[in-house]
Amino acid sequence: MSWAADTDPGARPDPAVTATEAGRLLAGAERRIAAPPSVARQHLLRVLRDLSFELRTEQLSLLEAVRGSKLGGVTLSAARVPVALRIGLEADGPGCRVGVLLADRWAGRVGRNWGLTSAYVQLFESVLGAVDDVLGRLDPAAATTFPGWWRQTGPGDVAIMQNAASLANRAGAMLSRHASRLLDGDSPAQRRAAVSRSGTDTFVFETPQTVAEVPAELADGMLMVGALIAGRPGDMPPNLVAQVQSLVFRVEEHLASVPPGSAPAARFTVEPADVPVVTFLHQQARLRSLLPVRNLRTCTTCRLEKVTNPDRERLQERTRRTRDLATSLSAVVTPYVLAGRLAQLNNKGPDFACPRCQGMDADETVVTFCQRCGDRRAETALRTCSKCRFDFRSLVAGDRVWQPRQTPPATPPPVTAAPPPAPPPQPMPAPAPAPGWGTAAPPQPAPAPTSAPAPASAAPRPVDPEAEQWPRPPGG
């Protein structure tokens, strides 16, 4: 694969992307393969790990990762320059569409002014080539029709800056190798969750009749559970897996289409058929929040398994970084002493080291333990412990996800709510009228103006003793 010519319409960048990343060194590609998104996502995660990228966002439809550092970029090494990688996954019939974007990660958009164009072109080729290799293995037929990569690197490089950077590479290789981890942070990156990143505290799923208000942290857990189920469905019904994947994709697309902090991001309309899926994801996310979470790492060489506690690892990393920073600041700050001090303090081993074969690469998944018998459960959807038959779902049996929609009436009460009119009176003997009250007047050409005969259709007027004490009008 090589860079496409400017006349190739299939290898041109999205104008919206180039406008957003104006002034940066960019490269990318778009591929369509016959494999489903969940399968492509698993293989792409392995590629990112092999290329030493650090995940920042891990969603079902989006993967974001970074590599390199600003200090390491001074060396003009393609393996050390700061770069950001974004991979978008979208369902396309039975297959999927994969979009890849690479961009420099300098604080100021002046990458080419530092003479880094050649280094970034080399980096772009290696990363895009690795992505094409794994996608080509998933769909060899589509790999023969992949268009060329596109890139946007400006007018060219600055040769004098390349020479200066070459000298800096020989003089400061040791310093950059050991100091970049301390400056950029060596702990695992906090993977930003989609709902929490939108700036809302509560995410609402709504139908015309009901709503489900979910805290943002729990909604992020629902999306993560959906991604786990799509990647490892196990013995779950295929229809349910397809519904979960579809719902997670739509929620992630909704969050991506709304700017962070906008009010519409907090509400998402679902179809009535999605109500059981939302309830299922809410149940599984609640179980994960109640049960202990552990990571199961399986060595890719000898398949040895090791269970780790992510909370303990974070505490250990925080303690180590605090100690290293305090010790390095107390040293005599000269280039040689500081470089030696950082080399000593940052001599930290890899995140994983197999005790059997000394392998440093492992597959990682989430596991938990049964609260009754202590058996390890590795399935993504927790239901019943196969050893003691404990029902995990009983832990959240009292949760009510959906509530009736509370909408105040915007219009006055309907007319049908008013009391019906009185029915016409039935013929009955008229009571003896009181003197001067209700006596019919004799026939005359015109009725007297002061007379007030009772209408023939009106009901007989009840006698009010208190009203009878008041003086009557003339002729009444």
CATH fold, domain 1-170, is TATA-Binding Protein (3.30.310)
pTM: 0.61
Q: Which amino acid is at 149?
A: W
pLDDT tens per residue, range 456-471: 444 455 544 444 444 4
Residue span(s) of the chain under CATH 3.30.310.80 come to 1-170
pLDDT tens per residue, range 186-234: 444 345 567 877 777 889 999 988 999 998 888 888 988 888 888 888 8
pLDDT tens per residue, range 365-387: 888 899 889 999 888 888 899 89
Instruction: Write down the pLDDT at residue 133.
Output: 92
Q: What are phi and psi of 307, to 5 degrees?
A: -95, 130
Residues 194, 220 contacting (CB under 8 angstroms): yes
Give me the helices (H) in 297-426, please.
310-329, 335-345
**Can you read off the two tokens belonging to residue 53?**
């990228």
Q: Which residues lie across from 362 on neighbouring strands?
A: 299
Name the one residue in this structure whose structure tokens are 């902090």.
261
Average pLDDT of the chain is 74
Instruction: Write down the pLDDT at residue 119.
Output: 84
Q: What is the mean pLDDT of residues 122-141?
A: 92
Q: Which amino acid is at 333?
A: V
Residues 230, 224 contacting (CB under 8 angstroms): no
Q: What are phi and psi of 368, to 5 degrees?
A: -145, -175
